């Protein structure tokens, strides 16, 4: 194991930095020598050339080079190709493994372990935090579940930050080692300089910052050794000669905690611009947002509601027949079959971890790189001038809505009753109006013409390039099925996304009282309100939700949309039997008005094939 920073020309190579006479062992030929080089200096061409010569001079040895530099930096380096390196990237711990660990270590039931594992996975991804589940081994089951259920992620992330800085403090070679808290204060200054003041920090700048910090407190520490402790432990690194945090979750947490103590800087940083730092704001709101920022968000939400509100005689488009073309009978039948399966699993207390992992893997692949067909489809979608203008205006309202939902969810314990009720009411009003306007734009898209264009022989041939195993007929059927699925997904996404965001990120039980007091003004607002309340507390909201579902018109689209939402929540986001059954009952109620019977065996086969395919 060799530190990459210690390999430098002309004298310091593999031989001088090795801890034993490896040349003697190399001559024996009965051993495989492996050099692990930690953090080679990718910014210095001179050092890389020297390291390249060292590697090429030991043809019988194997080399593993570890770097925290971005993938782009590594792939663009001539060094990687010069030594014929194979590139590997550390991946996150899978949902399956996290769930298994929680189930065994905390004696959780399968369904509970799955929900907690998914929330941990989402937290890790949201804050780019590559944590192993054993990190939570010292936390009791009840505390871990409570933190995640209450959406108190800053406390979980604080554990990780404290853990890293404790290791840094313990291994510090400085004559005067500083504590974890003293190091955190310094890193908060660095985070503010980089993110709020927008000042790039070079190596010399960082040394000066450390020197000033030491002088301010009479620490008497060596600034070079002090910053080296962060570099050596992978807390900080240099990229293009400027310092960067290697751990994004640490940067977000330290910045959030610093801004909590600096309200004027917080107001400047969280200015609701297009480049709003939602990750840091999430943690900041949980720690406690300043009243000026809360007032600013309330003002933005109020203005957005006024600007985009529906006319008194205007009906939400989801309540009309506009989208019934995508609400086909076979989908309702498939929903009913899925309802029966999930209800049976809930009654028996069965988990479904392996199937969920497969679904997450598919979702990750789709998110990381959409298929050629999907990319080609989205490129063909065009909006006219009026539609483009409306979408641009709505993007600002959506932006304000997301910030408001984050504030309410993360800051639930800090906000007073009146503020919580105001924010929740505005979120429901804005949810109804922006979903209507977005869905109206999507309704005007001519999916039929797009389907015809994509199933033309020349387009089929283009899409089949490099994939001769798929016949022309199979590709045509695939494209047709893809359009059917995508059309429903696209047109329902505004309302689906809003419901999912509210129910997942503002799910704290302490919000139930505030939400219960809200008086919706129209049918869609009533549905959003009841669905949100029931998801938080089924005991309080279930009867209201069923009542509102029964009052809906006999429109297949809105009922299918709600049924999908309730089923997803029951499947992914709840583990308590009574809560899951309440959601399943709501989904069943949504589609109960459709008395559809199978007429032939052919339809039965078609539906079974579709279910197997999905």
Q: What is the pLDDT of residues 253-305, one digit of tens each?
A: 999 999 999 999 999 999 988 789 999 999 999 999 999 999 999 999 999 99
Q: Would residue 90 count as lying in a domain?
A: no
Same domain, 357 and 247: no
Same domain, 503 and 454: yes
Same domain, 182 and 229: yes
Q: Would residue 489 count as lying in a domain?
A: yes
Q: Would residue 299 count as lying in a domain?
A: no
Same domain, 215 and 252: yes
Same domain, 332 and 248: no
Same domain, 435 and 562: yes
Same domain, 227 and 314: no
Residue 197: predicted pLDDT: 96
Q: Would residue 300 count as lying in a domain?
A: no
Same domain, 175 and 318: no
Same domain, 492 and 467: yes
Under a CB-based contact definition with an 8 Å cutoff, are residues 409 and 287 in contact? no
Under a CB-based contact definition with an 8 Å cutoff, are residues 193 and 199 in contact? yes
Q: Would residue 141 count as lying in a domain?
A: yes
Torsion over CA of 512, 518, 523 and 528, rounded to 10 degrees?
A: -30
Residue 513: predicted pLDDT: 97
Under a CB-based contact definition with an 8 Å cutoff, are residues 324 and 555 in contact? yes
Same domain, 538 and 419: yes
Q: Would residue 56 count as lying in a domain?
A: yes
Angle at 171 between CA 137 and CA 20, to 5 degrees: 105
Residue 132: predicted pLDDT: 58
Q: Give the helix ranges, DSSP H, for 77-127.
A: 78-82, 95-105, 110-126
Same domain, 398 and 444: yes
Residue 90: predicted pLDDT: 72
Residue 337: predicted pLDDT: 61
- Nearest Cα neighbor of 43 from 203, 193, 250, 200 is 203
Last residue of a domain, one of 103, 130, 151: 151
- The structure tokens listed for 427 are 């979120």
Task: Please list the ranges in the chain whose pLDDT falls under 70.
Answer: 19-29, 69-77, 130-141, 143-151, 174-175, 327-352, 355, 357-385, 445-451, 454, 462-470, 478-485, 595-614
Same domain, 67 and 115: no
Contacts 24+ apart (CB under 8 A), 221-228: 221/174, 221/175, 221/176, 221/178, 222/174, 222/175, 225/172, 225/173, 225/174, 226/174, 226/178, 226/186
Last residue of a domain, one of 227, 255, 288: 288
Residue 136: predicted pLDDT: 60
Q: Would residue 101 count as lying in a domain?
A: yes
Q: What is the tally of structural domains in the chain?
A: 4
Residue 502: predicted pLDDT: 94
Q: Which domain holds residue 266?
A: 162-288
Residue 371: predicted pLDDT: 44
Q: Would residue 88 count as lying in a domain?
A: no
Neighbours of 205 (CB within 10 A): 15
């Amino acid at each position: 194991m060799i530190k990459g920073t210690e390999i430098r020309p002309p004298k310091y190579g593999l031989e001088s930095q090795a801890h034993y006479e490896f040349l003697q062992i190399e001559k024996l030929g009965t051993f495989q020598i492996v050099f692990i080089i930690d953090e080679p200096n990718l910014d210095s061409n001179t050092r890389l050339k020297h390291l390249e010569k060292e590697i090429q001079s030991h043809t019988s040895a194997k080399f593993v080079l570890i770097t925290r530099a971005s993938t782009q930096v590594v792939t663009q380096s001539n060094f990687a190709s010069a030594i014929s390196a194979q590139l590997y990237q550390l991946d996150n711990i899978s949902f399956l493994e996290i769930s298994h660990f929680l189930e065994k270590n905390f004696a959780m039931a399968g369904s509970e372990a799955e929900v907690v594992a998914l929330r941990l996975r989402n937290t890790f991804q949201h804050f780019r935090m590559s944590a192993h589940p054993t990190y939570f081994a010292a936390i009791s089951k009840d505390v871990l579940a409570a933190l995640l259920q209450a959406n108190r992620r800053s406390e979980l992330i604080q554990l990780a930050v404290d853990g890293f800085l404790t290791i840094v403090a313990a291994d510090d070679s400085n004559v005067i080692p500083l504590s974890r808290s003293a190091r955190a204060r310094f890193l908060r200054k660095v985070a503010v300089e980089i993110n709020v003041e927008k000042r790039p920090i070079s190596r010399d700048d960082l040394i000066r910052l450390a020197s000033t910090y030491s002088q301010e407190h009479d620490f008497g520490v060596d600034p070079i050794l002090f910053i080296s402790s962060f570099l050596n432990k992978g807390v900080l690194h240099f990229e293009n000669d400027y310092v960067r945090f290697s751990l994004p979750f640490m940067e977000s947490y330290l910045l959030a905690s610093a801004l909590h103590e600096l309200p004027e800087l917080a107001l400047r940083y969280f200015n609701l611009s297009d480049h709003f730092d939602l990750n840091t704001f999430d943690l900041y709101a949980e720690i406690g947002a300043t009243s000026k920022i809360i007032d600013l968000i309330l003002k933005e939400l109020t203005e957005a509601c006024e600007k985009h509100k529906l006319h008194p005689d205007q009906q939400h488009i989801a309540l009309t027949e506009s989208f019934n073309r995508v609400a086909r009978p076979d989908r309702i039948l498939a929903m009913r079959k899925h309802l029966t399966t999930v209800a049976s699993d809930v009654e028996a207390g069965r988990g479904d971890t392996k199937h969920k992992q497969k679904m997450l893997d598919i979702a990750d692949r789709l998110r990381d790189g959409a298929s050629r067909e999907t990319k080609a489809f989205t490129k063909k979608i065009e909006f006219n001038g009026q539609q483009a203008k409306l979408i641009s205006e709505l993007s600002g309202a959506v932006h304000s809505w997301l910030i408001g939902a984050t504030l309410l969810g993360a800051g639930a314990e800090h906000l007073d009753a009146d503020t919580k009720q105001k924010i929740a009411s505005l979120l429901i009003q804005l949810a109804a109006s922006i979903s209507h306007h977005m869905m109206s734009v999507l309704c005007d898209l001519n999916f039929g013409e797009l389907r015809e264009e994509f199933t033309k022989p020349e387009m089929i041939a283009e899409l089949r390039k490099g994939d001769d195993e798929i016949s022309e007929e199979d590709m045509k059927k695939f494209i047709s099925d893809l359009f059917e699925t995508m059309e429903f997904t696209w047109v329902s996404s505004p309302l689906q996304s809003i419901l999912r965001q509210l129910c997942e990120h503002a799910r704290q039980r302490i919000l139930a009282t505030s939400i219960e007091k809200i008086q919706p003004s129209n049918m869609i607002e009533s549905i959003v309100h009841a669905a949100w309340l029931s998801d938080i507390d089924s005991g309080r909201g279930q009867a209201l939700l069923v009542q509102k579902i029964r009052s809906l018109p006999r429109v297949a689209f809105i009922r299918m949309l709600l049924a999908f939402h309730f089923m997803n929540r029951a499947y992914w986001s709840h583990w308590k039997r009574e809560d899951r059954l309440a959601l399943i009952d709501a989904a069943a109620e949504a589609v109960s008005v459709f008395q559809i019977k199978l007429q032939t065996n052919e339809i039965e086969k078609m539906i079974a094939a579709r279910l197997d395919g999905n």
